[in-house]
């Protein structure tokens, strides 16, 4: 896509540089629409009637105040897959990070290197097998891909040509569009959707700093970050003092522009006095908490230093250091006591041909999946974000119950009579982490019974 003339003038003038000086731009509002060039003024005349909310969102935006107009973003070049003639102009249907990158090149580059940009690679994973195959493709289109991103595709005629409507507009496959999934694979080859966080057409920074923006996808039984945040002291502080957050500030540096509370963006993306804003949301993460067994990421020391620097804007170094010591210990506990042993059991069962090659066709596979993908993630994420209830009752409690009284019995049944399977399970249960299963001492039981008798008046188990 080439840069339209109106936008070229703005770029030369430096008007689109996102610096504190931008705060001096004219106040956004309906009057900003009068600054549109001739091409976009034609768009506005029609769309004020047909889609008035879109025009109002744009008119109230920083884009409008700085003279960035409809045609600057929706302009297409001949040969663009989604291009079509509309009112005498070649228009693009899907505005992509490549288009946004004309002005925001550094942001597009950071995002392109992030894990978010690769989110559509979940296609082919066990998660996608559940949605695409077991539940049904339309579930994946309306569920999984709305967060992870679709591979945007055009509809095709039987002869392989692109289907078009009566006005010559290429028709997009409705199972792939509309979609604002964070890892969307666009027709121009770019990855992602800026509007996943910066909802069109206002593209508000304040909106992108709200926890709910992340919570659209980071929620639910397998990755409840928004629920954990709301439970945490961080989330409580944000809700209590939201009017002090200065969310519309251009710079938004923690400890300078605001100090009331952190949001998701504060810790993972936003600027501090020594770090600039980043659109690589994983840049400050030292552990990966998604897989069966957590691992420290490449360059985890640098990543951790950057996150700890964010923490020390509100907490002393001893506080931060103590948290990370406890955090590491909890993740290592999950790995050694539950994650690694469960993985060993599944591996030996598969090696001994006790499970079929088809995923999820046996109940044990569902049980194992829930153990690490649901309960295991909740436990680890609860620790990472200081959510005590998600660490304990929604986390490690359910991990332990699933492991001891669901997973292991089913694994023993699946490997019944197999020496190697039984050997692995016995080795696990004989390890110190699982010694409690052999029974507590009479003294320990007496102490517990007496506690409940004294506190609740309950009869003892003696």
Q: Which two tokens stand for residue 235?
A: 């989330």
* Residue whose C-alpha is closest to residue 175's, from 204, 155, 195, 196: 155
- How far is it, in rounded angstroms, from Cα 293 to Cα 297? 12
Task: Give 305-360 pLDDT, tens digit per residue.
Answer: 999 999 999 999 999 999 999 999 999 999 999 999 999 999 999 999 999 999 99
Q: Is the pLDDT of residue 413 over 70?
A: yes
- How far is it, in rounded angstroms, from Cα 40 to Cα 172? 24
pLDDT value for 287: 98
pLDDT value for 461: 57
Q: Is the pLDDT of residue 14 over 80?
A: no
Look at strands 83-86 and 295-296 and give their pairing.
unpaired
How high does pLDDT run on average in the chain? Answer: 91
* Residue whose C-alpha is closest to residue 390's, from 270, 218, 212, 214: 218
Task: Give 376-392 pLDDT, tens digit per residue.
Answer: 999 999 999 999 999 99
* 459: confidence class by pLDDT, cuts 50, 70, 90: low
Q: Is the pLDDT of residue 252 over 50?
A: yes
Burial class of residue 277 in the structure, from the number of CB atoms within 10 Å of its CB (0-12 exposed, 13-18 middle, 19+ buried): middle
CA triple 98-101-106, angle to 5 deg: 130
Mean pLDDT check: name the lowest of 39-43, 172-176, 332-336, 370-374.
39-43
For CA atoms 428, 432, 437, 438, give the dihedral sign: positive
- Of 28 and 135, the structure prediction assigns the larger pLDDT to 135
Q: For residue 38, give the 3-state DSSP assignment.
A: helix
Q: Is the pLDDT of residue 51 over 70?
A: yes
Percent of the chain clearing pLDDT 90 (strictly above): 84
* 9: confidence class by pLDDT, cuts 50, 70, 90: very low
Quick check: 28 and 64 in contact, CB under 8 A? yes
pLDDT value for 122: 86
- Give residue 95's region: left, alpha or beta (phi > 0; psi -120 to 50): beta
Question: Mutual orientation of helices 317-334 and 300-311 as an angle, nearest 10°?
Answer: 130
Q: Is the pLDDT of residue 141 over 90?
A: yes
Q: What is the DSSP string of 240-286?
A: HTGGGS-TT-SS--BTTTB-S---HHHHHT---SSS---S-TTTT--
Quick check: 208 and 198 in contact, CB under 8 A? yes
Distances (CA, A) of 348 to 351, 353, 383, 421: 5, 8, 30, 6
pLDDT value for 460: 60
Those residues with Cβ within 8 angstroms of residue 163's Cβ, 6 or more apart along the chain or in another chain:
154, 155, 156, 157, 170, 171
Which residues are paired to 83 by β-bridges? 92
Give the largest CA-CA distance in the chain.
88
CA triple 220-225-228, angle to 5 deg: 100
Mean pLDDT check: name the lowest of 32-46, 80-94, 187-201.
32-46
- Report pTM: 0.89
Q: Is the pLDDT of residue 32 over 90?
A: no
- How far is it, in rounded angstroms, from Cα 414 to Cα 364? 8
- How far is it, in rounded angstroms, from Cα 152 to Cα 448? 59
- Mean pLDDT, range 81-104, rounded to an integer: 95
Question: Mutual orientation of helices 377-384 and 317-334 as an angle, nearest 10°?
Answer: 170
Those residues with Cβ within 8 angstroms of residue 58's Cβ, 6 or more apart along the chain or in another chain:
33, 64, 70, 201, 202
How many Cβ atoms sit within 10 Å of the Cβ of residue 106? 13
How many Cβ atoms sit within 10 Å of the Cβ of residue 169? 16
- How far is it, in rounded angstroms, from Cα 215 to Cα 149? 16
């Amino acid at each position: 896509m080439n840069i339209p003339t109106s936008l070229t003038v703005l770029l030369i003038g430096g008007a689109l540089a996102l610096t504190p000086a931008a705060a001096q731009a004219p106040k956004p509002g309906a009057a900003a629409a009068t600054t549109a060039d001739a091409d976009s003024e034609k768009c506005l005349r029609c769309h004020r009637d047909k889609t008035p909310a879109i025009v109002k969102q744009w008119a109230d935006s920083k884009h409008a105040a700085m003279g960035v107009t409809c045609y600057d973003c929706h302009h297409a070049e001949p040969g663009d897959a989604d291009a079509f003639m509309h009112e005498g102009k070649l228009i693009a249907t899907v505005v992509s990070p490549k288009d946004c990158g004309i002005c925001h090149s550094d942001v597009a580059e950071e995002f392109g290197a992030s894990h978010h940009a690769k989110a559509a690679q979940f296609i082919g994973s066990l998660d996608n097998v559940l949605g695409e195959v077991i539940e049904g493709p339309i579930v994946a289109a309306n569920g999984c891909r709305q967060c992870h991103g679709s591979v945007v595709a055009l509809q095709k005629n039987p002869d392989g040509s692109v289907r078009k409507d009566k006005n010559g507009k290429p028709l997009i496959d409705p199972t792939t569009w509309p979609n604002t999934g964070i890892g969307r694979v666009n027709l121009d080859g770019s990855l992602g959707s800026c509007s996943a966080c910066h909802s069109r057409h206002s593209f508000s920074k304040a909106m992108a700093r709200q926890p709910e923006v992340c919570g659209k996808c980071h929620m639910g039984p397998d990755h409840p970050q928004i629920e954990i945040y709301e439970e945490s002291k961080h989330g409580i502080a944000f809700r209590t003092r939201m009017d002090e957050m200065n969310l519309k500030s251009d710079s938004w540096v923690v400890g300078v522009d605001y100090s009331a509370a952190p949001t998701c963006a504060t810790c993972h993306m936003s600027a501090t006095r020594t770090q600039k804003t980043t659109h690589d949301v994983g840049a400050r993460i030292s552990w990966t908490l998604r897989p069966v067994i957590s691992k420290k990421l490449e360059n985890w020391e640098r990543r951790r230093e950057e996150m700890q620097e964010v923490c020390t804007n509100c907490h002393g170094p001893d506080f931060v250091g103590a948290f990370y010591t406890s955090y590491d210990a909890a993740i290592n506990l999950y790995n050694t006591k539950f994650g690694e042993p469960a993985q060993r059991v599944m591996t030996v069962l598969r090696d001994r041909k006790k499970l079929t090659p088809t995923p999820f066709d046996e109940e044990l596979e569902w049980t194992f999946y829930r153990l690490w993908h649901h309960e295991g993630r909740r436990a680890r994420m609860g620790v990472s974000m200081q959510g005590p209830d998600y660490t304990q009752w929604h986390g490690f409690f359910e991990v332990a119950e699933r492991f001891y009284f669901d997973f292991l019995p089913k694994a023993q049944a699946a490997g019944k009579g197999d020496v190697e399977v039984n050997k692995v399970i016995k080795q696990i249960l004989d390890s110190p982490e699982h010694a409690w299963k052999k029974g507590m001492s009479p003294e320990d039981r007496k102490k517990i019974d007496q506690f409940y008798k004294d506190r609740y008046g309950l009869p003892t188990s003696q």
